[in-house]
């Protein structure tokens, strides 16, 4: 760091609030504070403002149907097609030559799709899907790396009304099989592989292992040839087809977009919950698309002429909402990058921003912490002056990381939006609006216009400013999940049971996050209050990891908790009891790590595996996870008097600290 940097950081360290620069406000999409009142006074009709961003085949007559709470319906009797909205209408509006997708492969090779190109490819793949037998409402699974064929396949599904279920490519074969089984999905789109830090990875092998564990017949799989000569030479079976050959047979084909009811499912996205079974979050065509378009416009400030980059993977909700649907609905240019931020060098992201003159950049705090660790020379060696706005999502951002991002990436001239939301909410819920709100590093900001969120205690009463409580949402919103796939009961149990009052018919959504509120209504999100970990901004259920560990030969019992981690935010700590006759040795440790990688994926890999004779349990037999967390974090231990086996605590502690 130079002396100037040191001086700058010293100055900013004390500063607790930042106003958006005038240069940003002058051009922002939303600049009038009255929007908050407009939405709350005119709720739920205010949401036509979001729906108006879309082109409807037939207009809806009611904004919100709440006759069967909490199964809300939005714009329910309207019809539209999501692919038409994200592609065709921009072509029809005279923007066929505007770039829709800028893709950069890890090797630096690039592909550019104009809206016309995207129109052509989406049609051709829609025709391909039809030829393979895909019908409206069939769930098509995608297990693909970050290549343009992924959004093309998603939009082709949307075009013919087949919901997609995208499984993150980093997830394991087992995770793929579980999701295909749960959704009864008979179609899979995948790829032979992709590049990571220069190496070609064999993805098809994993896909094949997943397919072997699908319980029903899989009608067809389509495999993109990403690796060419670097491929692994797998033979395709009779029901497995090469993407390019299929597409060649459909050159020039056009498929009319089907009219979908606003409430028809657009996609399923599986996410982790408290139990071992992932939850199939159902999102709809009208409400979800309206909500992502509206938040992309009001929060990310996107405009059609922008080049916008969200560095997430499309395999997560962030990529669905803010790489694909929101930006494309608005006719923006969206950037996609295949690889990692540190390949070939640690300046790769800044290089991409400079090269494409990115206007708006959206990333995760875990990435920012890595950039800070790597040092300022990497961003400093690039011209980042094209940037107008920065965003973060996925976990709380600490004020130091916020200020680093603000100074070294935004050069004090870009506002930052710290956006709180979830897979289930479809889009952003708590954040400042960049053209209006004062930013307070560490605090996400107020609930967005039309979002009625409060922070309450266990009894459901509002907490005082400065006190920690539970985040709740008291009114529905268009982007909300509609249910958990084929499991209405679990939907109610997971999200509505806790704070709703059946007597007064008051329905309150509980996202399972802790939070605090300031005098001015700004919310600071404290993190999950259920047994869900946030590892590098990815949500992982402790139960899922535990069941992967217990499946390993020689393991009798396991408890998984999150421990603090500088880069990852949280890291997985696994406390394991071996079966009689098995040694607590390196071999078993390795099998456990492999068990987790095979069961879930490398992202869930335990940071530490701690063998123990017993787990600390209460007299009623419940594992005291709080203690295991304190041990993982090297914190002072809280009350242990309710334990049945307090003596085990010192033993475990000694093992973790290495004493």
**Residue 552 found at the interface with ligand WT7 (CB under 6 A):** no
Told to check if 528 binds ligand WT7 by CB under 6 A, we report yes
Per CB under 6 A, 444 contacts ligand WT7 = yes
Q: Under the criterion CB under 6 A, does residue 399 sit at the interface with ligand WT7? A: no
Q: Is 330 in the site for ligand WT7 (CB under 6 A)?
A: no
Residues 101-120: x where in contact with ligand WT7 by CB under 6 A, - otherwise, as a string = --------------------
The single residue listed with the structure tokens 């990435």 is: 367
Task: Look at the block and give the residue holding tokens 């107008």.
Answer: 388
Backbone φ and ψ for 174, nearest 5 degrees, come out as -60, -40
Stretch that binds ligand WT7, among 520-528, 607-615, 631-639, 644-652 (CB under 6 A): 520-528
Candidate residues 21, 344, 527, 551; the one interacting with ligand WT7 per rule CB under 6 A: 527
Cis peptide before 70 (omega within 30 of 0): yes
The contacts of residue 34 (CB under 8 Å, 6+ apart) are none
Kindly state the greatest CA–CA separation across the chain: 74
Query: Does residue 418 touch ligand WT7 according to CB under 6 A?
Result: yes
419 scored as a contact of ligand WT7 (CB under 6 A): yes
- Site membership for ligand WT7, residue 472 (CB under 6 A): no
Give least dist CB 365 to ligand WT7, A: 8
Rounded-to-integer distance, Cα 266 and Cα 255, Å: 18
Binding status of residue 432 toward ligand WT7 by CB under 6 A: no
Measured in whole angstroms, the distance separating CA 601 from the mean position of its chain's CA atoms is: 16
In eight-state DSSP terms, residue 46 is G
Q: From residue 288 to residue 317, what is the string marking binding to ligand WT7 with x (rule CB under 6 A)?
A: -----------------------------x
Q: Taking the complex as a whole, how short is the minimal distance between the CB of residue 394 and ligand WT7, in angstroms?
A: 4
The continuous run of DSSP H or E covering 352 comes out as helix 348-356
- Give yes or no for residue 422 binding ligand WT7 (CB under 6 A): yes
Contact 513, 525 (CB under 8 A): yes
Q: Which stretch binds ligand WT7 (CB under 6 A): 32-40, 56-64, 130-138, 415-423?
A: 415-423
Of 170, 511, 595, 601, the one binding ligand WT7 by CB under 6 A: 511
579-596 core/surface letters (b: 16 or more CB in 10 A; e: else): eeebebeeebbebbbebb
Q: Which is nearer to ligand WT7, 389 or 615 (CB)?
A: 389
Interface pick for ligand WT7 out of 525, 610, 648, 649 (rule CB under 6 A): 525
Structure tokens at 59: 């207009």
Compare residues 589 and 605 and give the one whose CB is closer to ligand WT7.
605
Applying CB under 6 A, among 138, 313, 395, 570 the residue interacting with ligand WT7 is 395
- 254 in Cβ contact with 91 (< 8 Å): no
Q: Binding of ligand WT7 at residue 402 (CB under 6 A)? A: no
Examine residue 170 and tell whether it contacts ligand WT7 (CB under 6 A).
Answer: no
CA angle 472, 633, 597 (to 5 degrees): 80
SS3 (DSSP) at 72:
coil
- Residue 340 near residue 201, CB atoms below 8 Å: no
The residue behind tokens 């919100």 is 64
Residue of 513, 531, 570, 598 interacting with ligand WT7 (CB under 6 A): 513
Q: Which is nearer to ligand WT7, 116 or 398 (CB)?
A: 398
Q: Which is nearer to ligand WT7, 278 or 341 (CB)?
A: 278
Burial of 617 (0-12, 13-18, 19+ CB in 10 A): middle
Site string for ligand WT7, 364-393 (x = CB under 6 A): -----------------------------x
* Least separation in angstroms between CB 69 and ligand WT7: 22
Residue 636, SS3? coil
Our finding on whether 536 is near ligand WT7 (CB under 6 A) is no
Rounded CA-CA distance 263/72 in Å is 10
Helical segments of 169-311, H only: 173-182, 203-212, 243-248, 286-298
Tell me: does residue 318 bind ligand WT7 (CB under 6 A).
yes
Instruction: Report if residue 56 touches ligand WT7, rule: CB under 6 A.
Output: no
Residue among 423, 443, 448, 542 that touches ligand WT7 (CB under 6 A): 423
Asked if 32 and 436 touch (Cβ cutoff 8 Å), the reply is: yes
Number of residues that bind ligand WT7 (CB under 6 A): 21
Question: How many whole angstroms separate alpha carbon 207 and alpha carbon 253?
Answer: 29
CA distance 221 to 203: 14
Residues that bind ligand WT7 (CB under 6 A): 271, 317-318, 393-396, 418-423, 444, 511, 513, 525, 527-528, 534, 539
């Amino acid at each position: 760091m130079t002396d100037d940097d040191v001086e700058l950081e010293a100055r900013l360290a004390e500063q607790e609030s930042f106003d958006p620069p005038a240069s940003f406000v002058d051009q922002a999409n939303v600049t009038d504070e009255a929007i908050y009142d407009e939405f709350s006074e005119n709720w739920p009709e205010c949401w036509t403002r979001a729906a108006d961003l879309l082109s409807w085949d037939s207009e809806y007559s009611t904004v919100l149907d709440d006759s069967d709470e909490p199964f809300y319906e939005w714009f329910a009797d309207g019809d539209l097609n999501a692919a038409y909205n994200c592609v065709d209408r921009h072509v029809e509006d005279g923007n066929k030559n505007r770039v829709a997708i800028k893709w950069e492969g890890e090797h630096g090779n690039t592909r550019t799709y104009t809206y016309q190109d995207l129109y052509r490819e989406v049609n051709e793949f829609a025709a391909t899907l039809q030829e393979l037998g895909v019908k409206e409402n069939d769930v098509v699974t995608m297990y693909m790396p970050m290549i343009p064929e992924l959004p093309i396949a998603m939009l082709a599904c949307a075009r013919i009304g087949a919901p997609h279920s995208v499984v993150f490519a980093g997830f394991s074969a087992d995770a793929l099989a579980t999701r295909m089984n749960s959704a009864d999905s008979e179609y899979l789109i995948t790829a032979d592989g992709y590049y990571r830090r220069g190496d070609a990875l064999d993805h098809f092998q994993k896909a094949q292992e997943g397919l072997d564990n699908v319980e029903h017949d899989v009608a067809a799989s389509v495999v993109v040839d990403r690796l060419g000569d670097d491929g692994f030479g797998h033979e395709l079976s009779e029901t497995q087809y090469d993407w390019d050959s299929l597409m060649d047979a459909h050159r020039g084909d056009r498929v009319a977009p089907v009219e979908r009811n606003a409430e028809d499912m657009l996609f399923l996205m599986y996410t982790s919950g408290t139990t071992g079974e992932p939850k199939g979050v159902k999102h709809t065509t009208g409400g979800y698309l309206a909500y992502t378009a509206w938040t992309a416009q009001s929060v990310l400030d996107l405009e059609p002429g922008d080049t916008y980059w969200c560095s997430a993977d499309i395999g997560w909700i962030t990529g669905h909402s803010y790489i694909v649907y929101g930006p494309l609905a608005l006719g923006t240019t969206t950037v996609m990058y295949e690889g990692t931020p540190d390949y070939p060098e640690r300046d790769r992201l800044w290089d991409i921003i400079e090269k494409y003159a990115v206007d708006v950049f959206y990333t995760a705090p875990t990435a920012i912490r890595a950039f800070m660790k790597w040092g300022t020379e990497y961003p400093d060696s690039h011209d980042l002056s094209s940037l107008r706005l920065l965003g973060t999502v996925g976990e709380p951002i600490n004020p130091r990381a916020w200020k680093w991002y603000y100074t070294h990436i935004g050069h004090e001239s870009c506002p930052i939006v710290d956006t709180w939301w979830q897979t289930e909410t479809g889009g952003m819920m708590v954040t400042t609006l960049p053209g209006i709100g004062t930013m307070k590093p560490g605090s996400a900001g107020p609930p967005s216009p039309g979002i009625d969120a409060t922070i309450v205690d266990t009894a459901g009463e509002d907490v005082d400013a400065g006190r920690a409580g539970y985040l709740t949402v008291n009114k529905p919103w268009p982007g909300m999940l509609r249910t958990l796939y084929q499991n209405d009961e679990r939907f109610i149990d997971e999200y509505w049971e806790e704070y709703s009052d059946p007597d007064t018919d008051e329905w309150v959504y509980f996202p399972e996050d802790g939070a605090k509120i300031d005098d001015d209504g700004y919310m600071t999100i404290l993190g999950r209050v259920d047994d869900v970990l946030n590892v590098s901004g990815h949500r992982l259920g402790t139960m899922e990891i535990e069941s992967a560990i217990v499946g390993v030969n020689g393991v009798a019992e396991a408890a998984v908790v999150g421990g603090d981690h500088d880069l990852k935010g949280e890291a997985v700590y696994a406390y394991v009891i071996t079966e009689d006759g098995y040694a607590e040795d390196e071999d078993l440790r390795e099998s456990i790590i492999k068990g987790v990688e095979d069961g879930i994926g490398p992202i869930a890999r335990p940071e530490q595996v701690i063998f123990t004779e017993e787990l600390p349990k209460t007299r009623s037999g419940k594992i005291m996870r709080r203690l295991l967390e304190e041990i993982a974090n090297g914190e002072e231990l809280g009350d242990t008097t309710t334990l049945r086996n307090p003596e085990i605590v010192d033993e475990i502690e000694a093992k973790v600290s290495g004493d």
